[in-house]
Each structure stands twice: as C-alpha cells, then as structure tokens.
Structure 1
Amino acid sequence: MKILSVDDNPQNRAVLEKALSKQYEITSSDGSEPILALMETHQPQVVLMDIMLGTDYTGYDLVKEIRANSAYNNCEIIFISALTSSEDKLNAYGSGGDDYIAKPVDFQELREKLRRVELRQSERDGLKDMYEMASNTAFTSMQQASELGELVTFFTDNLEVTDLEILFGNIKQYYANAGVKCCVEFRVANEYYQYPKETISDLEREILELGRSAKRIVPFGSNLLFNSHACSMLVKGIHFNDDEVIGRLRDNFAILLTIVDSRIDFIEEQIEKRSIRQKAINSLKNQLTDDFSTIKSLCLSQDEQISKLVNDLSQAVQLKIITLGLDEEQESELMGLVDETKEVVAETLGLSFVLEDKLKSITERLKAVE
C-alpha cells in the first residue's frame, strides 16, 4: 500500500518513514509542493496529514483540495497532529479526513488504523471487481440477447422465402450487421448456386467447393468456413481480439447455418413438388391429346360412313322409283324425303366439324400449359 506523509517537521517525517517503510511504500513531503501534483505523481492509497504546516496553507486546506478531485475519492486521509481538541478533530473530519491520531504518534495505533485501511481498500477492490464482473456479464447477456434476436428475426423474415437470390441477400445483411463479409454456395436438387454471382473470386469458389466434403466448421486465419449438406458459408474478416466474442459469433453463425439448411430443404421440397406436378400435367396433356386424336379419328370415320350410307340410299331410291311405277307426284315426294335426309346428315356432319375445331383448340391450349 502506498502512503504519502505530509509534515513540515523533517524529524517527524523521518520517524514515520523509519516506522512504516518496511511494511509500506511511503513518500514524504513538507507541504510546500502542490498537493495535487504529489497525488498525481505517487498515487497513494493513504495520506498522513499534519495540520499546522508552517505555510499559508493548513492541512485542512490541502485535504479539501484532495477531496475536490474525484480521482482520489478512495484515498483515505488520516490527520496526525498535536492539536487534540474536539473542535480540531471535527474540523479535520469536516475538511474530508477519515481518521485522526494525536502526536506523539502511537505506532501500534497507527499500524492498526493502516491495517483497517488495507482491509477497507481490499473490500472496495473486491466490490469493484464484482461490479465490473457484473457489468461485463450484464453487457454480455444483453449482447447475446441482441444477437439471438437477430437470429430469430432472420428466421421469421425468411419463412416464406423461396428465391435463392433473396435468401443470400438476407444472409449477407445478417453478416454485415455482425461486421463481417461472406460468400455462399447453396446445393439444391443436385445443382450448385454460388453467391455473390458477380464478385465472387475463383479462390472463394474453390473453397466453397471444398466445403461439399469438409467438416462442419473449418477455421483458417481470420476466416471460417461453415458446411452442411445443403450449404457452405465462407465468413471473411473476423477481426476480433476477444476470444469470447469470437466464440459467441462462431456459435451464432453455426445456428444461422442450421436455419439456412432448413430453408434450403424447404425450397428443395417445393422444387420436387413442382417437378412431380409438372410430370403429372405433362402426362395428362399427352393422354388427353391422344384421346382427342382418337375421338377425332372416330368422328371422321363415322362421318365417312354416314355420307356413304346416305349416298347409297339416294341411289337405291332412284333405282327403285323406276320399278315401283310411281306417278310423278309420288316420285317427287319420295325424292323430297331423300333430300331432307341429306340435309339432316349434312347438318350432323357440320356439327362434327365444330367438334373437331373445339378438340383442336383444346389440344393447343393443353400444349401451352406448364
């Protein structure tokens, strides 16, 4: 413990130094030097202050100067004086003193007071350490809560994302908030997508490709490579001096990789579902096209058969008219019936052409379905 002794009597200073120097680091002054300069130079934990210094200033004045400077709030001041009245002691206490010893000094009493000062200093230091530890813990907890909050935000913001470009943009922003940069490779449906597309270097591409078969976390220099079955993320420029911070960020980045994995798995499922749906649509298109072709062929065949039957009927009627001996009126009536039949058949054939056009239109529309 450092002690500053202020006394205008050199004999008193010498006695104090001899009595205390083996146990403490003691510096003496006659009070003529500026007290704050002495405090700044020696940084004492205890000041032993005489009251009557033989100058324009008293010990009270010097102590008031010390107490006016908050840098020395924890420095304890013990007055040592031949002035022993209650008024003197009250003045000493009022000026900022912590204790008082009358001259001639009882060194056993002084050592006991210094021992108590050491004990209080130790308690204060312990409390200070506890406060700093609590403050650091609280700050770390708040920092962790903030970082976890960012992970939760990333998760919720990407619940509906199915576009890899957008997903990378959100990953990039997350890392930017953490003060680092990144490049990413997504592995989706046996295809590889590397970002940022325009600025990724050949070396970064190679590193991401190595991630396809590397362990989950690969550190090298100020970089970390995080890998999974669906994604590799190269995190660049982790320039932090605090190992605890680096460890925490490493854990957070690993959690981010897990979140991205789940997103990629979802996107892959959607791609697979779309593929299955497209195959089903294509199969249906082909089946309907074949069915419509069959219907068209049947309609054409039926039209040909009907036309042939009507023509045969017309010819047969005309031949029979000659042998039946019908008069002109009967012959005209019978041929009228034949003509009406032809008209009905023609209308029916016209409907077949309409049906054919509709089938053709449906077939073209099916071909356009994706």
Structure 2
Amino acid sequence: MNEKKHIIVVDDEELNLFLLEGILADEYLVTTVDSGASCLDKMNDIKPDIVLLDVEMPDMDGLETCKRIQEISECPVIFVSAKGSLQERLAGYAAGGYDYIVKPINGHELTAKLKLILSQESEKQSLKDNIESSYNTVMTALTSSSELGCILSFADKIHEAYNYKEVANLVLITMKQFGVETTLHIRGEIEKEYYSSNGICPPMEVEIMELLRHKGRIYDFSQRTQVNEKRISILVKNMPEDKEKYGRLKDHLPFILRIADGYIKNLDVSFKMLEQEKQLRKTVTQVNSQLVEVEKNLQQSNNMCFQAMNNLVDDFELRLEYLALSEEQENKLKEMVNSHTEKAVQTLENTDEINKTFSSILVKLRNLLE
C-alpha cells in the first residue's frame, strides 16, 4: 500500500484550516499551522510533499513565506487567496509559487490539482535527469566555447532537429550553457507544447507564460524575462545578477529565438508537405485501382462485342438461304451487313486505343508510387 503524501496547510483563519483538513484528511496526512513562521518551523521537522499557503496573513504574508520555503526546500507551494488578478498571480509566481487557487475553494478542483501535481513531481526527477545528461554531453564538447560559440553551435545543430521536441531540447541545452533555467512554449501547426529545463512546467508558469505572450516581444519582471516570437516563447527564470552578463544574455535571447522560430516554420512546412504527399499517394493508389477496373471492364466489353458480331454474321449467312432471295438481293444484304460490321469493328478498334491510353496512365501512376 502506498504511503500517504504529507501536506502542510497554512492559514491564519481557523475555519479555513478546518475546512481544508476535512477535504484532504481521507487521502493525505495533513498538518495545519496558523502562520508563516510556524510553517517554516514545521519544514525543519517534516518534509511535506505540498504546501497550501494563504497569501494574506499577519506578520509574515504568504509571499514572504514562500520565498523562505524555496530557500530550504523544493516542495511545491500552492497559493490560496481570495484575490486572483494578473498582478497578484505574477507576484505569487515571482515568489516561487507552483499554482494559484482563488477562494472559495472547490474540493474536487483542489484534490484534482493535488493529484496532478504529485504525479508531475514523480516524473520530474527522471525528466530532469535526461536534460542534465544531455547538458553534460554538450558541456564536454563546448567547455572552452564562448557565448558566441554556443550560439553558432545552436544555429548549426538546429538543422539536425526533426521535430518540436528536438528543437526544444536544443534551446534548453543552449540556455544551460548560459547558466539559466528556462521554460519554452512552442506553438507549431501540428501541436502546441511546453518544455522546461526542470522537467514539468507548473500550472502557474504555464498560465503566466500565456498571459505574457501578448505583452510585447520582451517582458521583464522580478529576476525573470520572457521573450516572444510568433511560434515560440522563452521564459528565463533566473536572469544573471551581473549587469554585463544580463545585458549580453538579453541581446542573445531574441537572436536565438528568431533562429528557433524560423526553423519551427520550416518544420511546419515539411510536416504539411509530408501530409500532402501521404494524401497524394493515397489518392493515386485509389485512382490506380479504379483505372485497372475500368481497363478490365473495357476489355471484357470489347470481347463480348466481337463475339456478338461474329455470331450475327454466322446466323445471317445460315438463315439467308431460307429467305428465297435472288442472287442480287443476297449480295446487297451481304454488302449492307458487311458495311455495318466494318464500322462496328472500327469503333471497337478505337476502344482498343483507349485501352492503350489507360495502360499508359497506369504505368505512370505505378511509377509515382515507387
């Protein structure tokens, strides 16, 4: 049986603590505290899996508490607040929040979010290890490279990417060279997806990136910067404190993103052409089958017509002697029958030409399929 996950609930209102504990107690171990300071004390004693944190509290508010939690733990923090404007959510995200829930709390929504976050956390480490492994490989090759060398390497290697995920991994690895943690949002025609150097993107991070996508090409807040292009956005979560490094990175980011955006556009064109080729091959195959059937039917019709004419001529000659006609009358009838028979044969020969045309078309279609 799986061990219950541990959740700390922080709120200065006793009623809120009682309600949240009632919602969570059946599925989780719940510890309730009434202040940020008490929460930090508990963090030293236990290692919770998630912290539910009220924003507005006396002495130490939720934002400050969250910042201090981030200094001692990687535990996800979900803010619980009666307010949910963009500025308040930005402040929560800047403080290190993982998600943001607006009161009154819906019990089903809360438990669903908790299950999703816990599931993502279980995947986070393995995904992070993959990024770290790729980073170490590239780091070995680029140990002595300058920042320009990183960018040139990125511009060269991106042409080896065959899908959005490979483009994202290359951008994330390149950003690792600059010593920053990043999240990407790629908006291709085939799919739209988020990618993070930490593995899984927190819901609040996804929400913030979507909101900032419409706030101009470059948006700075706190120690973070988001750069937007048409098909890709990048959020740098720990811009350098050194002013020179900060300035250089801010110059590099739009250039790197323009390269990535252009390549994503090329991928979209390639994907579209592949789909068109697939549909064309499917159509050609169908037309080929239909033409084969038409050719077969035409050949059968020709054979039947030739046989019918031969039978007609044979029957005519057999019955002619019973008509008691003069030799002159017989000759005229024979001439008339022969004349019409020759016309029918000519018509059938024209049909043979049609068959030959169909055969030529079939050969060309088969060549297209090879």
Query: Structure 1 length as normaliser, TM-score?
Result: 0.43
> Which structure: larger Rg?
1
TM-score (norm: length of structure 2)? 0.43
